[in-house]
Chain A
Amino acid sequence: MANHEAQGRTGTPYPVPIERGKILEFAAATRSANPAYWTSDAPVVPPTFLTTQLFWQEWAGDDANPWRHVELDRKRGMHAEQEYVFHGPPPRAGTTLTAQSRIEEIFTKQGRRGGTLTFAVMVTEFRDADGRLVAEARLTGVETERAPEADS
């Protein structure tokens, strides 16, 4: 059961170095042969690459990750939506960003097939060395009242 008191919870900031090798590994895994990634010494990140902040958030320790306070049930929870916004070109290899996550909102809706759906939204901001906001990630998780299989 989701913990509504997690709304507003903010994690501690943590560094996210953007690395060329990691970008190429990600491009290969998502079947991109785009020369913008493969022929540049300092490629930009692919549109969904900032999901790799998961590594850095985990290594930074529990305080960096406010999502754990949301307590969505793993069996009834799933990833519903994910959004990335870039304020200018995507960040490039060689830069180190500072990321910080917060639980933006937790709300409920009636599902189409009955039952209550609980949504939780975590926003992660990525800033450059000058403190400029360069990218944002918005993760929406959903928890169904019953196990998803029971709906079908």
Chain B
Amino acid sequence: MTPQPPEPLVIGPLTRTDFVRYQGASGDMNPVHHDETFARAAGYDAPLAVGMFNAGLLATYATDWLGAEAVRGFRIRFREQVWPGDTLTCTGSVVREYERDGEPLVEVELACTRQTGGVAVQAWATFTREESS
């Protein structure tokens, strides 16, 4: 049966603390994501979110939907910058269901959208549908 997407995951308003927590967890310590002085010198009004943080929220949405152990592929495209105060909404839909070497798989398309309607991150993920995954 085609898996139906769950309710959208809404996160925000985002804070600088959200960015810092992700940076500490991930190892990406680029100061443009937490140092106000550095971000302004680089031409931004504020520190911008880490693209991989926004993508990580999509991964949270997708694994709650289709299973943490069932993921087989996760491809991310970064589209638009995200700022403190933004609220992000994660949604998804099924692209196709198919078999590879006898294994049932589902491919889904995911979007992390800002409150402006702009898509910050798109992702395409593949999950196995095998029970024992």
Binding site for B on A (CB under 8 A): 22, 25-32, 34, 36-37, 43-44, 46-48, 51-52, 54-55, 58, 75, 78-90, 147, 149
Contact = CB atoms under 8 A, between A and B. Distances in A.
Given A29-B21, A79-B52, A89-B133, A34 B60 contact: yes
Given A48-B52, A58-B27, A90-B71, A30 B59 contact: yes
Given A43-B68, A52-B25, A31 B73 contact: no
A36 B76 contact: no
B73 A83 contact: yes
Contacts of B27: 51-52, 54-55, 58
Given A58-B27, A81-B77, 17 more contacts: A25-B24, A28-B21, A29-B22, A30-B25, A31-B9, A36-B69, A47-B59, A48-B55, A51-B52, A52-B25, A52-B27, A54-B26, A78-B78, A80-B78, A83-B73, A85-B72, A147-B43
Contacts of B68: 34, 36-37, 43-44, 46, 90
Interface of B: 9, 11, 18, 21-22, 24-28, 42-43, 51-53, 55-57, 59-60, 62-64, 67-78, 125, 133
A84 B74 contact: yes
A51 B22 CA distance: 11
